[in-house]
DNA sequence: ACCTGAACACCGTTCAAGT
DNA sequence: ACCTGAACACCGTTCAAGT
């Protein structure tokens, strides 16, 4: 019996959860209709009975992840009235981020969706509730959602890629030397960071600390606008 | 003579500029090796002589666009010393954004790169120069780049998609009614925005105003940290 | 040095056919 | 109602062959 449970019938839900598992284990690139069918013990064409097409699978992926986020943040229940709004929003967003860390492929799926899953809207509705409790006007809350952008869901678009940086000090030194000619400020900045923290590798940054820095910058700015906007 | 200039020999540069034109006119999805070859009057396989593979084409795309951005912002030459840093950075970023508006496909290409083009690094180096002139420590400047994220280059990841919203007031009303049950705050926010600005369509937002709101929030926050970080 | 034709291993998707 | 086999129109890419 090589096939795992060939009896249990196919379901949209079973297809989507298999897709999440596939993406978690093998990466998003391996989520093809054919391989997804294989993972679920069926032929590629059988999927189309439960799912409109591949776009629908990707939409479903965001719904599953957003539901996981909502299940997590709904348990928080922090006080949000008045000045507490900031702490409540902060924890909500950092909790969402922890879910996404378990599904590293998820941000790129969220980014490519052209339609917003109701489950994501529900997440936003919860965020809005916290801001309203903090005294935000709807207008300010609206601006806030835009200002947070993908950060509201717990991820940011980093344009340096840390993972491609060099690893040995020799490589680091060589790169800094090359940089110094054409990119003096970048070279100086990296040299300075290496100096301050010799254990840091060039190009590597503490993602969590950077995420929180940017998040707090925005939240503090919004806090200052609460009464006047 | 149906072919346009079959004489002029193929070049990496000619390939990349043809790819930009193709993406501009037909969308990023139509940038395939086969169609790109056709646009340039050759066979698909000829491209591989000037370009490593498709990833290389996409990397090249970001280089071309980043160069266009650099050509634009290098002309600005605004004073950046002291408190002027903010205005200089602001204009630099808004100018970058205007270039990207001419190439709406570019953000999604930047997002998928795993390596950073030297031309992009040059752009960052210029940003760093302005911050340094404003009195930033390297440490703060580093945090600032992370906090700005893709906004430094002039784009943000919006998670609502405005373009898929309804267009008629009737549809708007219907959607708001449905929303009100499960998403009370979202519904109220949208109703409020519609009320404040009857010409606005549900889901449509002034991208430029929202971009500037978020940008200013971050820049103002950074300004407050200039002397203490 | 530069370009190409034929071929390979993949995609997503349709459609008629099976149970 | 649910699943499938064969087929179609595409991909990116290799490789031996042309000039």
Cβ pairs A/B, distance under 8 A? 155
Question: Are B148 and A196 contacting, i.e. CB atoms less than 8 angstroms apart?
Answer: no
**Could you state, in order of their start, the residue ranges of all structural domains in chain A?**
1-51, 65-229
Q: Tell me: the pLDDT tens digits for A109-161?
A: 999 999 999 999 999 999 999 999 999 999 999 999 999 999 999 999 777 65
Look at phi and psi of residue B202 and say left if phi exceeds 0, alpha if psi is from -120 to 50, else beta: beta
Does B146 sit within 8 Å of A205, measured CB to CB? Answer: yes
CA closest to B211 among chain A residues = A147
What are the b/e assignments for A186-222, b being 16+ CB within 10 Å? bbbbbbebbeeeeeebbbbbeeeebbbbbbebbbebb
Calpha distance B59→B67 (Å, rounded): 12
What mean pLDDT is predicted for residues A207-214?
94
SS (H, E, C) B3-49: CCCCCCCCCHHHHHHHHHHHHHHHCHHHCCHHHHHHHCCCCHHHHCC
State the DSSP code for A144.
H
Calpha distance A152→A136 (Å, rounded): 16
Contacts of A206 (CB under 8 A, 6+ apart): none
Query: Residue A223's Cα: distance from chain center in Å?
Result: 24
CA closest to A155 among chain B residues = B157
Q: Which nucleotides of C are covered by protein (CB under 7 A)?
A: 2-6, 10-16
Cα angle for residues A215, A204, B217 (degrees, 5° grid): 20
Question: Are B73 and B55 contacting, i.e. CB atoms less than 8 angstroms apart?
Answer: no
Does B147 sit within 8 Å of A210, measured CB to CB? Answer: yes
Q: Tell me: the pLDDT tens digits for A179-200?
A: 788 999 999 998 888 777 776 6
D1: residue with closest CA to C1': A49
Cα angle for residues B51, B52, B58 (degrees, 5° grid): 75
Give the CA A34 to C1' D5 distance in Å: 14
Question: Are B132 and B51 contacting, i.e. CB atoms less than 8 angstroms apart?
Answer: no
Calpha distance A81→A87 (Å, rounded): 10
Calpha distance A118→A60 (Å, rounded): 11
Nucleotide nearest to B52 (CA to C1'): D13
Does B186 sit within 8 Å of A159, measured CB to CB? Answer: no
Copy the structure tokens of residue A116: 């917003």
Strand, helix or coil for residue A151: helix
Chain A interface includes B183 (CB < 8 A)? yes
Min distance B102 CA to chain A CA atoms (Å): 20
Does B185 sit within 8 Å of A128, measured CB to CB? Answer: yes
CA quadruple A149, A150, A154, A158: dihedral, nearest 10 = -110
Copy the structure tokens of residue A159: 């344009």
Cβ of A33 near strand D (under 7 Å)? The reply is no
Min distance A166 CA to chain B CA atoms (Å): 12
Which residue of B119, B123, B138 is the best one to mutate when testing the A interface, meaning the one whose CB has the most A CBs within 10 A? B138
Higher pLDDT, A175 or B17: B17
Residues of B in contact with A218 (CB under 8 A): 214, 217-218, 221
CATH class in words for A65-229: mainly alpha
Does B221 sit within 8 Å of A218, measured CB to CB? Answer: yes
Calpha distance A68→A119 (Å, rounded): 10
- Neighbour tally for B1: CB within 10 Å: 5
Does B159 sit within 8 Å of A110, measured CB to CB? Answer: yes
Cβ of A32 near strand D (under 7 Å)? The reply is no
Q: Tell me: the pLDDT tens digits for B118-164?
A: 999 999 999 999 999 999 999 999 999 999 999 999 999 777 654 45
**Low-confidence residues in chain B, pLDDT < 50:** 1-6, 162-163
CA closest to A180 among chain B residues = B125
**For residue A180, what pLDDT is reported?**
81
**For residue A5, what pLDDT is reported?**
47
Q: Which CATH number fits domain B1-51: 3.40.50.300, 1.10.8.290, 1.10.10.60, 1.10.10.10?
A: 1.10.10.60
- Neighbour tally for A40: CB within 10 Å: 24
Does A157 sit within 8 Å of B150, measured CB to CB? Answer: yes
For residue A96, pLDDT beyond 50: yes
Chain A interface includes B180 (CB < 8 A)? no
CA closest to B158 among chain A residues = A149
The interface residues of chain A toward chain B in range 149-178, judged by CB-CB distance below 8 A, are 149-150, 152-153, 156-161, 163-164
**For residue A3, what pLDDT is reported?**
40
Cα angle for residues A213, A216, A221 (degrees, 5° grid): 130
C15: residue with closest CA to C1': A45
Q: Which nucleotides of D are covered by protein (CB under 7 A)?
A: 2-6, 10-16
**For residue A163, what pLDDT is reported?**
47
**For residue A203, what pLDDT is reported?**
56
Q: Tell me: the pLDDT tens digits for A12-65?
A: 999 999 999 999 999 999 999 999 999 999 999 999 999 999 999 999 999 999
Query: Residue B135's Cα: distance from chain center in Å?
Result: 27
């Amino acid at each position: 019996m090589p096939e795992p449970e060939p009896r249990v019938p196919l379901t949209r839900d079973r297809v989507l959860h298999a897709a999440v598992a596939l993406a978690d284990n093998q990466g998003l690139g391996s989520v093809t209709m054919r391989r997804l069918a294989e993972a679920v013990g069926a032929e590629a064409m059988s999927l189309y009975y439960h799912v409109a097409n591949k776009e629908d699978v990707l939409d479903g992926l965001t719904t599953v992840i957003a539901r996981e986020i909502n299940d997590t943040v709904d348990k928080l229940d922090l006080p949000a009235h008045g000045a507490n709004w900031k702490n409540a929003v902060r924890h909500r967003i950092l909790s969402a981020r922890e879910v996404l860390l378990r599904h590293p492929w998820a941000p790129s799926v969220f980014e490519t969706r052209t339609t917003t899953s109701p489950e994501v809207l529900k997440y936003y509705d919860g965020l809005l509730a916290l801001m309203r409790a903090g005294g935000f006007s709807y207008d300010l809350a609206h601006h806030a959602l835009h200002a947070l952008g993908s950060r509201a869901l717990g991820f940011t678009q980093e344009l340096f890629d840390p993972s491609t940086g060099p690893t040995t000090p020799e490589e680091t030194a060589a790169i800094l030397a090359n940089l110094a000619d054409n990119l003096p400020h970048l070279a100086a900045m990296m040299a300075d960071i290496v100096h301050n923290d010799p254990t840091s590798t060039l190009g590597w940054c503490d993602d969590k600390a950077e995420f929180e820095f940017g998040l707090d910058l925005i939240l503090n700015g919004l806090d200052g606008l609460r009464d006047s906007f």
